[in-house]
């Protein structure tokens, strides 16, 4: 049977299941079907179509000798019927495609699996399926066109001008509706002399029966067996069916489909691709997928898996031309199918956009970050980022410490030699504090952030958090004044004025302190000869004596002494050492 007829029959079978949703069942699972329905009598506008399908055991009633010709079906029920009828592989991704179809709902795998055939609703907040809404006529148009493989055919959309309600057709579905009209799958309805398509009208069971019969009879044709699909063993005469493939774009993804093989010798399919061999086959050209489910006759070509043993590397390159085929593996031989030449237009090679994998260590007393070396023609460089609070560090959200343009460098020393930009913890790291770090790989057209690690900063202290006071002295109105600049650090606790007769660089606490501790808002002190000096090499300042004066900034976890100034003390007062 030709490929188009195979699709047509699948579509017919799929859509006829609409009649069984309201507690109906297939004829083979029920008692013998009635010869008529009490709610569909001779003379009913859809009587012949309903009886035509009933005679072929395609549909049954809903119980009570009723057909319910005006009953409708929901979009979710429609999705389930498509999956079951087309024998689609149930697909339940980790991330739902639609915001209103949750992973734990009964319809989730059916909606996800039938998505290539159905319509959705796109909003600024995301995509919705609206599973409880009735299936409408324009939805039927999309399903019929996609199921029969007409979606890529050319059509003049002016064919819709014959319908007075053409403007009610959803803009994104106009082509599908036009194709359904072009191929006679759906016809308009007449209302008061006007021809309408009624795109938003609920599709009833009776309407579906008429549409399906019309489509089947219009497309039905006699066929001959295609000898190209079968190869014969010269000795035994055994027929080995060949996979005949079709490759189409569905939802912006390459989808490969082929005929199912039913043979006692059949074992599996191998999807084969080559860049140079015009007739690729397994095992000569390796394989992308090994499919042991004999009921599965499709494959998504999207760089989600590495290629095995090919002539083009692990992944397909966007824009590159390839040859694709499917080999049927039997118990005693491999039988390759036809080959299609195509230009790959799917997801990028994931090896081109690798995420850095970051680790840390302390080397020679410094914190060092290291990550995997990335070999990609798209790589521009790396950005090292950190945060004191954010456990999911990334660039540019959390600013940056380093921007590295050497693509061959895969390490960074964290040592406070560079001030941090746009961080949440100030310009420098604090020794002993914990931070979150990550590395972002910068590519030509995107950034990819690696894992986040948490580690303790070990290295040089922050020059901004622990500045040294700048000290000076002068005589003012007969008094000796020690002055220093005000320091702005959240870790500063106090100042100590330090004086020594012998030490040219006095510091606190080694050389004691003058009078008392001064708060962090103090920036000058008058040296009074009557004031006490503690723990130094003198007790009180003496007239005519030389001293070295400094100021030590006392921080929460360290002391930093400023410069020392040599003075000659010329203030009279109580004498004593």
| Of 407, 397, 409, residue with least CA distance to 438 | 397
More reliable by pLDDT, 284 or 18: 284
Using left for φ > 0, alpha for ψ between -120 and 50, and beta otherwise, residue 535 falls in left
Fold classification of 471-569 (topology level): Immunoglobulin-like (2.60.40)
Q: Which of 59-73, 157-171, 279-293, 534-548 has the lowest mean pLDDT?
A: 59-73
β-partners of residue 560 are 553
pLDDT at 17: 45
Confidence of residue 218 (pLDDT cuts 50, 70, 90): low
60/24 Cα distance (integer angstroms): 7
Fold classification of 235-343 (topology level): Immunoglobulin-like (2.60.40)
- Stretch (H or E) spanning 254: strand 253-258
| 353-456 CATH pick, 3.10.20.30, 3.30.70.940, 2.40.10.230, 2.60.40.10 | 2.60.40.10
Q: Say what percent of the chain tops pLDDT 70.
A: 86
The DSSP line for 432-484 is: T-EEEEEEEEEESS-EEE---EEEE--SSPPTTTSPPP-EEEEEETTEEEEEE
| Of 522, 521, 508, residue with least CA distance to 551 | 508
182/219 Cα distance (integer angstroms): 13
pTM flag (> 0.75): no
Overall size of the chain counted in residues: 577
- Same CATH fold assignment for domains 235-343 and 353-456: yes
HSE at residue 429, side-chain half, CA atoms within 13 A, is: 27
181/174 Cα distance (integer angstroms): 11
> What Å distances lie between residue 342 and 193, 338, 574, CA to CA?
49, 13, 101
Residues 130-172: tens digit of each pLDDT:
999 888 888 888 887 887 778 888 999 999 999 999 899 988 8
Q: Contact at 8 Å (CB) between 408 and 434?
A: no
Rg of the chain on CA atoms, in Å: 41
- Show the tokens assigned to 489: 């650090």
Res. 225: pLDDT tops 60: no
250/248 Cα distance (integer angstroms): 6
- If you average pLDDT over residues 22-31, what whole number do you get? 39
| Of 564, 538, 568, residue with least CA distance to 551 | 564
Confidence of residue 479 (pLDDT cuts 50, 70, 90): very high
Domain ranges for the chain, please list them.
3-219, 235-343, 353-456, 471-569
**Cβ atoms < 10 Å from Cβ of 353:** 18
- If you average pLDDT over residues 73-87, what whole number do you get? 72
Highest mean pLDDT: which range of 81-95, 219-233, 563-577: 563-577
Confidence of residue 77 (pLDDT cuts 50, 70, 90): confident
Q: Contact at 8 Å (CB) between 140 and 215?
A: no
Q: Contact at 8 Å (CB) between 135 and 72?
A: yes
- Show the tokens assigned to 187: 């016809």
pLDDT at 152: 84
Burial class of residue 252 (count of CB atoms within 10 Å of its CB; 0-12, 13-18, 19+): exposed
Residues 239-278: tens digit of each pLDDT:
889 999 999 999 889 999 999 998 899 999 999 999 999 9
Q: How many Å separate Cα 45 from the centre of its chain?
A: 51
Residues 307-333: tens digit of each pLDDT:
999 999 899 999 999 999 999 999 999
424/369 Cα distance (integer angstroms): 20
Q: How many Å separate Cα 86 from the centre of its chain?
A: 29
356/438 Cα distance (integer angstroms): 9
CB neighbour list of residue 502: distance below 8 Å, 6 or more residues apart: 537
pLDDT at 86: 59
């Amino acid at each position: 049977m030709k490929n188009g007829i195979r699709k047509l029959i699948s579509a017919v079978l799929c859509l006829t299941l609409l009649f069984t949703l309201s507690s109906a069942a297939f004829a083979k699972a029920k008692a013998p079907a009635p010869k008529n329905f009490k709610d569909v009598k001779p003379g009913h506008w859809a009587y012949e179509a309903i009886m035509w399908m009933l005679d072929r055991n395609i549909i049954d009633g809903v119980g009570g000798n009723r057909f319910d010709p005006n009953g409708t079906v929901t979009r979710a029920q429609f999705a389930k019927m498509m999956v079951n009828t087309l024998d689609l592989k149930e697909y339940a991704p980790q991330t739902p495609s639609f915001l209103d179809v949750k992973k734990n709902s009964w319809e989730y795998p059916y909606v996800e699996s039938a998505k290539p055939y159905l319509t959705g609703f796109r909003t600024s907040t995301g995509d919705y399926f609206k599973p409880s809404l009735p299936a409408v006529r324009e939805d039927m148009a999309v399903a019929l066109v996609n199921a029969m493989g007409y979606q890529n055919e050319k059509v003049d959309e002016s064919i819709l001008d014959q319908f007075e309600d053409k403007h009610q057709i959803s803009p994104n579905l106009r082509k599908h509706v036009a194709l359904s009209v072009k191929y006679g799958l759906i016809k308009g309805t007449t209302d008061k002399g006007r021809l309408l398509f009624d795109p938003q009208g609920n599709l009833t069971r009776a309407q579906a029966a008429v549409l399906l019969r019309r489509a089947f009879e219009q497309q039905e044709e006699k066929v001959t067996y295609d000898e190209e699909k079968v190869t014969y063993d010269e000795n035994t005469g055994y027929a080995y069916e060949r996979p005949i493939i079709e490759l189409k774009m569905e939802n912006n993804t390459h989808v490969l489909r082929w005929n199912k093989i039913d043979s006692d010798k059949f074992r599996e399919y191998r999807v084969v691709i080559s860049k140079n061999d015009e007739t690729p086959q397994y095992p000569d050209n390796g394989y992308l997928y090994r499919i042991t489910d004999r009921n599965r006759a499709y494959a998504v070509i999207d760089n989600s898996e590495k290629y095995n043993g090919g002539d083009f590397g692990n992944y397909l390159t966007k824009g590159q031309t390839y040859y694709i085929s499917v080999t049927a593996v039997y118990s005693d031989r491999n039988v390759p199918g036809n080959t299609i030449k195509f230009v790959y237009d799917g997801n990028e090679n994931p090896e081109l956009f690798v995420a850095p994998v970051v680790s840390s260590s302390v080397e020679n007393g410094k914190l060092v970050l290291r990550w995997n070396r990335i070999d990609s023609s798209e790589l521009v460089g790396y950005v090292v980022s950190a945060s004191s609070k954010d456990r999911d560090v990334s660039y540019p959200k959390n600013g940056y410490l380093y921007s590295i343009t050497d693509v061959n460098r895969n390490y960074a020393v964290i040592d406070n030699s560079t001030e941090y930009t746009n961080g949440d913890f100030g310009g420098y790291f604090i020794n002993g504090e914990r931070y979150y770090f990550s590395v972002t790989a910068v590519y030509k057209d995107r950034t990819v952030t690696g894992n986040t690690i948490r580690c303790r900063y070990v290295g040089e202290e922050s020059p901004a958090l622990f500045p040294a006071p700048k000290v000076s002295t002068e005589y003012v109105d007969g008094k000796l004044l020690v002055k220093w600049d005000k320091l702005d650090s959240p870790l500063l606790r106090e100042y100590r004025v330090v004086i020594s007769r012998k030490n040219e660089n006095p510091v606190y606490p080694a050389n004691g302190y003058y009078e008392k501790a001064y708060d962090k808002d103090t920036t000058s002190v008058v040296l009074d000869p009557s004031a006490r000096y503690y723990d130094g090499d003198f007790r009180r300042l003496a007239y005519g004596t030389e001293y070295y004066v400094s100021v030590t900034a006392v921080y929460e976890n360290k002391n930093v002494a400023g410069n020392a100034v040599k003075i000659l003390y010329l203030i009279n007062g109580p004498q004593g050492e």
